Amino acid sequence: MSGTTTATGTYVYGVVAAGAEIPADLAAVGGAGEITLIDHGDLAAIVSDIPTDRPLGRPDDLKAHERVVDAVAAERTVLPMRFGGVVRDDRAVVSELLEPHHDFFADALRQLDGRVQFVVSGRYDQDLLLARIVERNPTIAELSRELRDTDPDATHFERIKLGEQIAAEVDREREADAGTAVELLEPLCEGIVVKQAGGEDGALHLAVLVRRDRQAEFDDALEALANEWGERVTLQLIGPVAPFDFLPEPEQEAGVEA
């Protein structure tokens, strides 16, 4: 691994229990070096060498980091580090990270043991969504009819008003759908974080923490929700992914940000 006489540092992906095995054929951040483990007591850091003669931050770097921590999370409990964690060398991984923060990492691994994060996202069929809104809101339906065959330039402000009313209805629809999803899935989860759904057609964005031994139940509940919503919302389950949304609060003095 790295040494102080070479133009490399040690990149840290996350922390696992000692004795873990890392999936093979994972590409390292920076495009070079082998991903290995540095053990210290009952902990191990997932690391690779990284050149220090160029800044991090390229899209490929971020994707490589995510692929590594997600691949590990699929197999075992991992405490992922935020992207960009580089220390001087292997000795610093122990002296600045694993040793001084051993108890914090060990407790966090215990809290997440046997649990895995997924992301549930949903997209609206915009035609079906708009038809639903128009059907339920007489004011929007009437204004839509009034503007249907008018000159866009002559009815500019009315069209802005219509757009604002539709956007407000879409927000209410998202809020209601998120509430429905949380109510159904929460009994099967160890934790749920509701996030903002991105894009005009974004319907739902949840981070969920699920026990590995309850994944089948969770999948069945999500399928039932998809059947209930039909073509109006297309659901996607992403994961397992590294449990960034359910990490315990990091220690203030941690050498590499968790």
pLDDT (tens digit per residue) in 27-45? 999 877 789 999 999 999 9
Instruction: With H, G, I as helix, E, B as strand and everything else as coil, classify residue 15.
Output: strand
Beta bridge partners of 211: 115
Question: What one-character-per-residue DSSP string does 155-175 give?
Answer: THHHHHHHHHHHHHHHHHHHH
pLDDT (tens digit per residue) in 123-169? 999 889 888 888 887 887 777 776 777 767 766 777 787 777 888 88
Mean pLDDT of 1-25: 80
Q: What is the DSSP letter of 91?
A: H
The better pLDDT of the pair 4, 130 is held by 130
Per-residue tokens: 237: 């389950």
**5: pLDDT strictly greater than 60:** no
Total-model pTM: 0.83
Q: Is 71 exposed, middle or buried (0-12, 13-18, 19+ CB in 10 A)?
A: buried
How many Å apart are CA 97 and CA 79, to the nearest integer?
13
17, 37 contact by CB (below 8 A)? no
Q: Amino acid letter at 16?
A: V
**52: pLDDT strictly greater than 70:** yes
Q: Is 40 exposed, middle or buried (0-12, 13-18, 19+ CB in 10 A)?
A: middle
Radius of gyration of the CA atoms of the chain, in A: 24
Tokens 């899209």 correspond to 59
Q: What is the pLDDT of residue 133?
A: 84
Per-residue tokens: 116: 């895995």
Beta bridge partners of 209: 117, 191
How many Å apart are CA 125 and CA 145, to the nearest integer?
21
